[in-house]
Amino acid sequence: MGDIVRTTLTIYQNYGGGSTMTVIVAAAILYLWVAEDKKEIKVLFVHLTAGILALFFCPLFAWAAMKFFLDSQVYYRLLWLVPMGMTVAYALARAVSKIETRRKRIVISTVFALLLVQSGSLVYRNPMVTKAENLYHLPPSVISVADAMRVEGRDVKAVVPGEMLQFIRQYDASIHLAYGREALVDGWSNNPLYEAMESSPVRSFAITDYAKQQGVEYIVLRAGTPIAGSKPISKYEFSYLTTVDNYDIYIYDRAKFAAEKKAEFGILASGDWEENYIQTQ
Amino acid sequence: MWLHLLLLAVCTWLLPFCMGLLPVRYMKEEHRSFGMIWLAGWMMMFAVFQLMTVPFIVFEASFTVAMHCYTIVIGILAVIFLLLGRESVPGCIRKIKEHKPEKGQIPMMALVLLLIALQLFLAYHMQYLDGDDAFFVATSLTSQHTDAMYLFTPYYGANGELDIRHALSTEPIFMAWLSEVTGIHVTIICHSYISILFLALMYCIYVQAGNQLFPLQRKSKWLFLLFVNLWYLFGNVSIYTAESFAYTRTWQGKAMFPNLMIPALFVWLLFMAKDEMDVGEWAMLFVIVLCTTFTTSTGIFSVPVLLGLAAVLLAVQKKKAILIPQTLACLLPCIFYGLLYLLLK
């Protein structure tokens, strides 16, 4: 029981992210409880919201919800049932509407607006929010690499660096991957090819061997990735095809479309690309 | 390109408008407006999609067949709803004429509209590379590519069993339908168009809420909307908040749930609290509940909690026990999809 109480408290604290957001919501509910005279508003914005919060913290309810319906990872979504924005905005607008003089209304509105600005965090200041570079809102390098690998009329299988995993199939579903986004999330997958791809230096035998075992037709490496092993990648039947947007693409020599692709990129013979190769035993 | 954009306009403006006309006709006079028509229309489109597509998914039918059926049905329904509901239009026009903004409220109104316009502009020009898109957007694209729904893992493309955990919430397939009909890549639709459109729809819902909360004080309504704007803009205090989801994953069902469905349900709860439920309102409450299952499986469990508690509180406050069975009837979609999930799990 103590664990479930701690879990819900942590979820609640994480939801507010250390801001005063949840305090403002609580203050708004409290204000409406004291000041609101319309019963129909009070029942929704005070009793109902307080009821949902009470259920959220109720250990028995939380235990049942996490066991049967929502796991602990998504239990925070129960807080979405509290219309926080609507409640706070209504409480603030109501408080302002009760002020008699226009000048005071303007001053108090400004104070409330500054309170919201000061206590929150502007979404556009999130470092993850960046300027879009194309209509897909995807990294341009992903689009270039996918275009280079595409084979008209058939699917291909590739292995790509971690930073591309989440995006490449949003652009082109004909590109299958040896592993996907789950490799980035702890505990979701333990594909040895992912470990081999993300190690530094990359072992030429390991990545090509795992790739062949998993039917991979393209290997994409960050340009400049050091490659170590007794032989370079090209000696393990993966020929260098091209470099686009700082990514080196290798093609499996036995892939059905290998000759066609090599011709497209003007590759006449395989086996000569040994850049970044470090010979080891 | 113009043909694609025209088709997009038809699917996302004309169709919802036609689909909203009939339900709004049966709503109370004071609730009728063009905003309400557009909102009701979107909800109708989602609900019809959910009703039609889930059987195709469960029986593992092809994506193409399911989409053709939906296109035909929604097209026919739009024409019928337009013919039967066209009487709603004159009332809405009259309302616009009667409610011209007063001089004193224009600055506040302009500020709110400017803030909304800025957000729509930035939704197009800024990007947030969200990891969950590797599932949701890729599911849409994979459905189009494989002509199958929820049978291939979107993460890497392998064939597998029916993904029943997600299959009962058909929102990604709806985006794939939009892409299929318009011929525009689904990732462009989600990231560069729906991100704008659904933010606009969200504020349209808050306008309806403002109309209910401040029916006579129009200045306060615009102040309410200003605070809503600020709350949302500065609501990125953690990755979990509904406000963060509103901007960073607008096109995902789990962002639509807290930012479109929950505010819409509260608008309807306000109707209920004020004894303003007519046939149209009850029908739309049922439709919105159905839409919550369309957006995310979370809705199947949490909406009964919200509406159940609200119904009990309102029934006690109003001494009107009938509200409980009425609301329970509106919750049938959650009960149905919940049972279906348990059956197929």
Same domain, A24 and A101: yes
Q: For residues B160 and A178, what is the distance between their CA atoms, to the nearest angstrom?
A: 15
Q: Does residue A126 belong to any structural domain of this protein?
A: no
Same domain, A155 and A109: no
**Residue A177 domain boundaries:** 140-279
Q: Does residue A94 belong to any structural domain of this protein?
A: yes
Q: Does residue A128 belong to any structural domain of this protein?
A: no
Chain A positions in Cβ-Cβ contact with residue B156 (cut-off 8 Å): 169, 176-180
Is A132's CB within 8 Å of B301's CB?
A: no
Chain A positions in Cβ-Cβ contact with residue B257 (cut-off 8 Å): 77, 80
Check if A73 contacts B (Cβ < 8 Å).
no
CB < 8 Å from B in window 234-263 of A? none
Q: For residues A13 and A10, what is the distance between their CA atoms, to the nearest angstrom?
A: 5
Same domain, A264 and A146: yes
The minimum CA-CA distance between A272 and chain B, rounded to whole Å, is 31
Q: For residues B223 and A108, what is the distance between their CA atoms, to the nearest angstrom?
A: 12
Average pLDDT over residues A25-54: 94
Percent of chain B that is helix, strand, coil (3-state, to 5): 80, 0, 20
Q: DSSP string of chain A?
A: -HHHHHHHHHHHHHHHTTSSHHHHHHHHHHHHHHH---HHHHIIIIIIHHHHHHHHH-HHHHHHIIIIIS-TTTGGGGGGGS-HHHHHHHHHHHHHHT--SHHHHHHHHHHHHHHHHHHSB-GGGSTTEEE--STT-S-HHHHHHHHHH-BTTB-EEEE--GGGTTTHHHH-TTEEESS-GGGGSTTT---HHHHHHHSSSEEHHHHHHHHHHTT--EEEEETT--EEESS-GGGGTEEEEEEETTEEEEEETTSTTHHHHHHHTT--SSS---TTEEE--
Q: Does residue A127 belong to any structural domain of this protein?
A: no
Q: Is residue A96 over pLDDT 60?
A: yes
Is B228's CB within 8 Å of A86's CB?
A: yes
Residue with tokens 């898109």: B133
Chain A positions in Cβ-Cβ contact with residue B182 (cut-off 8 Å): none
Q: Specify the number of domains making up chain A.
A: 2
Same domain, A117 and A145: no
Q: pLDDT tens across B67-99, in order? A: 999 999 999 999 999 999 998 899 889 888 887
pLDDT classification of B290: cutoffs 50, 70, 90: very high
- List the single best residue of B136, B156, B341 to mutate versus A (max A Cβ within 10 A): B156
DSSP summary character for residue B235 = B
Which amino acid does the sequence have at B280?
A: G
Token pair of B142 as six digits = 């994979």
Contact A242, A145 (CB under 8 A): no
Same domain, A170 and A107: no
Same domain, A6 and A69: yes
The interface predicted TM-score of the complex, written ipTM, equals 0.93
Same domain, A72 and A150: no
Point out which residues pair with A154 in neighbouring strands.
A151
Residue A72's CB is within 10 A of a number of other CB atoms, namely 15
The minimum CA-CA distance between B191 and chain A, rounded to whole Å, is 6
Nearest CA in chain B to A158: B156
Check if A95 contacts B (Cβ < 8 Å).
no
Which of B196, B135, B118, B169 has the alpha carbon at shortest distance from B303? B169
Spatial CB neighbours of B23, under 8 Å, sequence gap ≥ 6: B40, B44, B85, B280, B283, B284, B287
Q: Is residue A41 over pLDDT 90?
A: yes
Q: For residues A228 and A141, what is the distance between their CA atoms, to the nearest angstrom?
A: 25
Q: pLDDT tens across A167-225, in order? A: 999 999 999 999 888 888 766 667 888 888 888 888 988 899 999 999 999 999 998 88
Q: pLDDT tens across A255-268, in order? A: 899 989 888 888 75
Is B236's CB within 8 Å of A122's CB?
A: yes
**Domain definitions of chain B by residue range:** 2-99+115-344
Chain A to chain B Cβ contacts (< 8 Å): 252
Same domain, A269 and A152: yes
DSSP summary character for residue B320 = -
Average pLDDT over residues B326-332: 96
Q: DSSP string of A125-182?
A: GSTTEEE--STT-S-HHHHHHHHHH-BTTB-EEEE--GGGTTTHHHH-TTEEESS-GG
The minimum CA-CA distance between B20 and chain A, rounded to whole Å, is 24
pLDDT classification of B125: cutoffs 50, 70, 90: very high
Same domain, A155 and A272: yes
Quick one: pLDDT at residue A272? 56
Q: Does residue A230 belong to any structural domain of this protein?
A: yes
Q: For residues B322 and B312, what is the distance between their CA atoms, to the nearest angstrom?
A: 10
Same domain, A151 and A201: yes
Quick one: pLDDT at residue B165? 86
CA distances from B140 to A82, A146, B64, B313 (A): 30, 18, 13, 40
pLDDT classification of A14: cutoffs 50, 70, 90: very high
CB < 8 Å from B in window 110-139 of A? 112-113, 116-117, 119-126, 128-133, 135-139
Same domain, A92 and A152: no
Check if A174 contacts B (Cβ < 8 Å).
yes
Residue A114's CB is within 10 A of a number of other CB atoms, namely 11
Is B236's CB within 8 Å of A126's CB?
A: yes
Same domain, A151 and A260: yes
Nearest CA in chain B to A82: B262
In this prediction the pTM is 0.93
Chain A positions in Cβ-Cβ contact with residue B131 (cut-off 8 Å): 166, 181, 184
